[in-house]
Amino acid sequence: MKNDPHLGLSDIEWQLLNSFQHNFPMVAEPYKEIGSKLGISEDEVLFLLQKLNECGMVSRVGCVLRNGTLGVSTLAAVEVAPEEIDRVAELINSFSEVNHNYERENAVNLWFVVTACSKERLMEILTEIENKSGSPVLMLPMEQNFHINLGFPIH
């Protein structure tokens, strides 16, 4: 795996991003262990992860859970007129239960994921978005996962 020169990352930063996406050391001092694998100090690992987190390349160091483990979630979408996109996107974003919200190239153009503490709360949010946006919400819950998540290998 080669470092991408456009990103301006050191080889160590590149390895930090790539090599610990699904095998985080489950020991008392995990960052020290990562450091020893990369030949740098624990302080350096913590500094670099903090930096990569602040610049947005690292979302977090933590767990990715199986869908439905905590709370109830669904993918949803609405079809809105181009001049309405900003308003409706802002409406959707206003719910803390919304964790993804993208514009996509399609007549159905706003796509978002809602994860709520209960089915009732989930439906309440979708109904409110439908009422305030004036567009029917398509609810597209996952039924089956066909992909094993090993992170995002950067080739």
Partner 1 sequence: MLNEKEASLLEAIQAGFPLTPRPFQDIGIAIGQSESEVIATLQNLNERGVIKRMGVVVRHRELGFKANAMVVWNVPDHLVSQKGKLIGEMDFVNLCYLRSRALPRWPYNLYCMIHGRQRSEVLDNIAKLEAHCAMGSLAKEVLFSQRRFKQHGAHYFKSKSTRTNANK
Smallest distance from partner 1 to CB 23, Å: 6
Q: Which amino acid is at 60?
A: R
Return d(Cα 141, Cα 120) in angstroms, integer.
15
CA atoms within 13 A on the CB side of 145: 7
User: Among 38, 80, 116, 125, which residue interacts with partner 1 (rule: CB under 8 A)?
Assistant: 116
Q: Does 37 bind partner 1 (CB under 8 A)?
A: no
151 binds partner 1 (CB under 8 A): yes
16 binds partner 1 (CB under 8 A): yes
Of the pair 26, 83, the CB lying nearest partner 1 is at 26
Residue in 1, 10, 41, 53 binding partner 1, rule: CB under 8 A: 53
Residue 70: CB minimum distance to partner 1, A: 5
Determine the size of the site formed for partner 1 (CB under 8 A): 81
10 lies in the site for partner 1, by CB under 8 A: no
Collapsing DSSP states into helix, strand and coil, what is residue 81? coil
Which residue type does 85 have? I
Contact 88, 135 (CB under 8 A): yes
Based on the shown chain and the rule CB under 8 A, indicate whether residue 100 belongs to the binding site for partner 1.
yes
CA dist 145 → 9, 117, 141 (Å): 33, 21, 11
